[in-house]
Chain A
Amino acid sequence: MALPDTPSLAATISRWVNNHRQPNEFYRVLLSRAIDRPRWELFGDEAALILRVAEASSGVASEASVTSDEDVNRRQLLAHAAALGTAAPVKRLTPPSPAAQIGGKPATGGTEREIIAAIRRAL
């Protein structure tokens, strides 16, 4: 994967942190991997999507109206609970962990164990 140049990445992060513009799909994958945090935790709109899925399946949608800090807190709590409790949406929204790669192919657990064993012998 070709990485963006430094000014581009810095500008994207700055706009994100300062609430000017949200990262696009490409940067979301990149940032999620760089920070090692799930996307729903980094990008509130994705947490909201999980929440909507949870609401739709549980019938609580009509009760949710964001008018106060408490409501925001509640929605966030629900979103987190939904993310923890509903594996399917989380699985779909969270990018794969940055697994060990070779030529774009992930290393398997067995390969990782072999690498560790070889290093252990040399240490």
Chain B
Amino acid sequence: MLSGTAGRELGIDALRRRVSGAWRLRQRSRYVELGGLLPGLLTDTQLASRELAGDDQAHALTVTAHAYNTTSSVLRRLGDNELALIAADRAVQTARSVDDPLLLAASAYRLANVFLPTGRLVEAKEVALSAAAGLDGRQDASGSHLAIWGSLLLTAALAAARQGEASEAWELLGEGKTAARRLGAEHADLHTIFGPISLAISGVQMAAELGTDTTCSGGPSGLTQCGCRRTWSSAARTS
């Protein structure tokens, strides 16, 4: 049996458990614990990807891509966007090597969300839309497919909003709304978290991003009547 850091077993099931544990810690913002866990996990998944063969190697590569995605997410949260970009890019490259459209879409989503806060809006939108297009015809294959498709559309919508492209932003959000409705509730797994709440939050965020733009017809009702930050604040003033 292959063994990794600290003599840990490098079986696929064990690696999957560790990646799932890391993802849960990420969702709980337990960065200090993650900091102790991720380096060993990355080392072990990379080793398993190199040393295992056949189906086991494909599974190891899948786990490695998820580990990179979690790492990218953590690094972005900690403010190291440069390193987050490297991790996200490695996730995309790893996902490509296993020819898994869902994993590739999830990795592209992470990559787009590294571009987004750094102002690389063209890249963020292109990566997100390209990955969403890669799922065309497969959106209903599973809840995960629909959720990642919706997440990619929301990311593209936010990028469009930050570019000041209000019509495109609301149109993309509308497509995301379709996905959220079909899901019915929040879907959370290793690939993404998406559903009606994510959509509502993105709608609010987009209205704020679009600022005083008055062309946001098609946005959430109540914000679209004037569609601007003034309306947004005016609405809130009635409390």
CA distance A18 to B207 in the complex (A): 13
User: Are A44 and B233 neighbours in the complex by a CB distance under 8 Å?
Assistant: yes
Contact partner of B83 (CB less than 8 A), chosen from A37, A44, A120, is A120
User: Which residues of chain B from 167 to 225 have any CB-CB distance to chain A below 8 Å in the complex?
Assistant: 185-186, 195-197, 200-201, 203-205, 208, 220-223
CA distance A101 to B29 in the complex (A): 6
| A residues less than 8 Å from B223 (CB atoms) | 17
User: Are A17 and B220 neighbours in the complex by a CB distance under 8 Å?
Assistant: yes
> Which secondary structure characterizes the binding site on chain B?
helix
Contact partner of B233 (CB less than 8 A), chosen from A76, A101, A121, is A76
User: Are A122 and B39 neighbours in the complex by a CB distance under 8 Å?
Assistant: yes
B16-55 vs A: 1/0 string, CB under 8 Å? 0000000000001111111110111011000000000000
CA distance A43 to B234 in the complex (A): 9
User: Are A115 and B78 neighbours in the complex by a CB distance under 8 Å?
Assistant: yes
A93 to chain B, nearest CB (A): 13
Which of A14, A16, A112, A119 counts the most B-chain CB atoms under 10 A from its CB?
A119
A123 at the interface (CB under 8 A from B): yes
User: Are B197 and A6 neighbours in the complex by a CB distance under 8 Å?
Assistant: yes
Binds A, one of B69-77, B103-111, B141-149: B69-77
User: Are B71 and A45 neighbours in the complex by a CB distance under 8 Å?
Assistant: no
User: Are B236 and A43 neighbours in the complex by a CB distance under 8 Å?
Assistant: yes
Interface size band for A = 35 or more
Beta-carbon nearest neighbor of A121 in chain B: B39
User: Are B29 and A98 neighbours in the complex by a CB distance under 8 Å?
Assistant: yes
User: Are B232 and A123 neighbours in the complex by a CB distance under 8 Å?
Assistant: no
Beta-carbon nearest neighbor of A73 in chain B: B230
Beta-carbon nearest neighbor of A108 in chain B: B32
CA distance A24 to B127 in the complex (A): 37
Number of A-B contacts (CB under 8 A): 128
| B residues less than 8 Å from A102 (CB atoms) | 30-33
CA distance A6 to B29 in the complex (A): 19
CA distance A118 to B201 in the complex (A): 33
Contact partner of B197 (CB less than 8 A), chosen from A13, A69, A115, is A13
B86 at the interface (CB under 8 A from A): yes
CA distance A13 to B208 in the complex (A): 15
A41 to chain B, nearest CB (A): 7
CA distance A92 to B15 in the complex (A): 45
Interface, chain B (partner A; CB < 8 A): 28-36, 38-40, 42-43, 71, 74-75, 77-80, 83, 86-87, 90, 185-186, 195-197, 200-201, 203-205, 208, 220-223, 229-230, 232-239
- Can you report 24 residue pairs joining A to B where beta carbons are below 8 Å apart? A10-B200, A13-B197, A16-B204, A17-B220, A21-B239, A35-B204, A35-B208, A37-B205, A42-B204, A44-B234, A44-B236, A47-B233, A69-B230, A72-B234, A101-B29, A101-B31, A115-B32, A115-B74, A115-B78, A116-B83, A122-B38, A122-B39, A123-B42, A123-B87
Interface, chain A (partner B; CB < 8 A): 6, 9-10, 13-14, 16-19, 21-22, 31, 34-35, 37, 41-45, 47-48, 69, 72-73, 76, 79, 98, 100-102, 107, 111-112, 114-116, 118-123
Identify the 9 closest CB pairs spanning chains A and B, nearest first.
Answer: A22-B239, A115-B35, A44-B233, A100-B31, A44-B236, A44-B237, A102-B32, A122-B39, A19-B235
